[in-house]
Amino acid sequence: MMQNENIIQIRDLTAKYDDRIILDNISLNIRRGEVFVILGSSGGGKTTLLKHIIGLLKPVSGEINIFGKNTLSMELEEFEEILKKIGVQFQGGALLNSMEVWENVAMPLEHHTRLPVSTIRNIVKQKLSLVNLKHAYRLFPSELSGGMKKRVALARAIVMDPEILFFDEPSAGLDPITAAELDELILELQKKLGITIVVVTHELESIKRIADRVLYLQKGKNIFCGTLEEAKAADNDEMNQFFGWSEKVKRHK
């Protein structure tokens, strides 16, 4: 594995809704093994960028390379092979209330593999143990707290042993203590499993806890990409306001 290898490369990505430009010529690299956080004001294009990377939306122009391959020029079958190496946790968790926890977690394995049920159940138990929820195996989502539902969704997102894990607002709707616990779990999994994590969030405390580097989108434009220390030194008015950095900590001109 190469040091600072780019696992995702985006070049000149432009996206529109009708005639409105949502992503304006975005270029960036995401490195293998890092926690990369996508930031920006409301409506800045954060979730739209995430949906383009995982193939839910198609851009007007540009290039998206994952594992060194241009996903926009792929046939569906080839892209599905890429998707098997990617885990996604959407904002609401998207658990099916009619199914037990283990069945929810097992869904990707049942869809993408031909493993016997006994093997699938063992894998599910392992993943639930990783998120400290082994005891919830036979429970229904309605019996879980908000934080537990997030962890079940996380177990499902890692059940195929992905190389990249995407989160859309992972701590949305959680109290500060539960949100902090989820952040610690994300970092723990990143270290244990060696995966690359891409997070869309606006939660300041979460960003400070987990981010190796951040991308800041302003009206669909990439205005900054780097570490938080570099973001502070950049002295951009919108980022200063977003992070609440006062005049005292700004770079003196």
| Same domain? 173 vs 225 | yes
250 belongs to a structural domain: no
Give tens-digit pLDDT for 11-20.
999 999 888 8
Residues 72 and 2 reside in one and the same domain: yes
Between 249 and 79, the higher pLDDT residue: 79
pLDDT digits (tens, 9 = 90+) for 82-105: 998 999 987 666 788 899 999 999
Tens digits of per-residue pLDDT, 150-201? 899 999 999 999 999 999 888 888 889 989 999 998 899 888 889 999 999 8
Single residue among 107, 127, 161 that ends a domain in this structure: 161
Co-location of 171 and 149 in the same domain: no
Residues 171 and 77 in one domain: yes
Are residue 179 and residue 240 in the same domain, yes or no? yes
CB-count burial class (<10 Å; 0-12, 13-18, 19+) for 234 = middle
CA distance 117 to 52: 33
Q: Based on the domain organization, do 37 and 55 belong to the same domain? A: yes
Same domain assignment for residues 155 and 44: no
Same domain for 79 and 171: yes
- 138 and 100 Cβ atoms separated by less than 8 Å: yes
Task: Please identify, among 118, 141, 161, the residue that sits at the C-terminal boundary of a domain.
Answer: 161
- Residue 13 located in a structural domain: yes
Q: Angle between the 146-157 and 117-130 helix axes, to the nearest 10 degrees?
A: 130
Residue 51 counted as domain residue = yes
Whether residues 101 and 226 share a domain: the answer is no
3 state DSSP class of 66: strand
Q: Is residue 90 part of a domain?
A: no
Strand bridging mode 35-40 / 196-200: parallel
Q: Give the three-class secondary structure for 244.
A: coil
What pTM does this model have? 0.89
Which CATH number fits the domain that encloses residue 68? 3.40.50.300
Distance of CA 231 to the CA centre of its chain: 20
Q: What is the pLDDT of residues 201-239, one digit of tens each?
A: 888 889 999 999 999 998 889 989 999 999 988 888 888
Same domain, 209 and 175: yes
Asked if residue 126 and residue 2 are part of one domain, the reply reads no
Domain that holds residue 7: 1-85+167-245
Q: Report pLDDT for 1.
A: 45
